[in-house]
Amino acid sequence: QIADPEACDQMYESLVRIHTNYYKNKYPRLKDTNFTGVTVEDCKMILSTDVLKQMEDMKKGTWRKLREKFSAKKPEEDSK
């Protein structure tokens, strides 16, 4: 049982308005932006390129480590 049915109904109606984008439709924006002023598509592109750059840097770091290991072993083998 619900203690306060009126409050429950008000909360339910509020959630329905949020879910159906009532206020977005009532007060449309000129551009679909976020608080930074950048569009959603631009944000996705920026984030994806940053992720790709980080992955490339990680790969380069791994290859550099491998090169250092093998380059350190070669002089030892040459001296034997």
Query: Is residue 11 predicted with pLDDT exceeding 80?
Result: yes
For the beta carbon of residue 42, count every other beta carbon within 10 angstroms: 13
8 in Cβ contact with 2 (< 8 Å): yes
- The pLDDT value recorded for residue 79 is 53
Look at residue 77 and tell me if it is in a domain. Answer: no
Percent of the chain past pLDDT 90, that is, above it, reads 22
Q: pTM to 2 decimals?
A: 0.39
Instruction: Answer yes or no: is 79 within a domain.
Output: no
Structural domain count, the chain: 1
Domain membership of residue 23 (yes or no) is yes
Query: Which three-class secondary structure state does DSSP give residue 33?
Result: strand
- Higher-pLDDT residue of 15 and 68 is 15
Determine, yes or no, domain membership for 80: no
pLDDT at residue number 58: 74
Q: Per-residue pLDDT tens for 18-32?
A: 999 998 889 887 776
Domain presence at residue 17: yes
Whether residue 78 lies inside any domain: the answer is no
Q: Quote the domain boundaries for residue 42.
A: 5-72
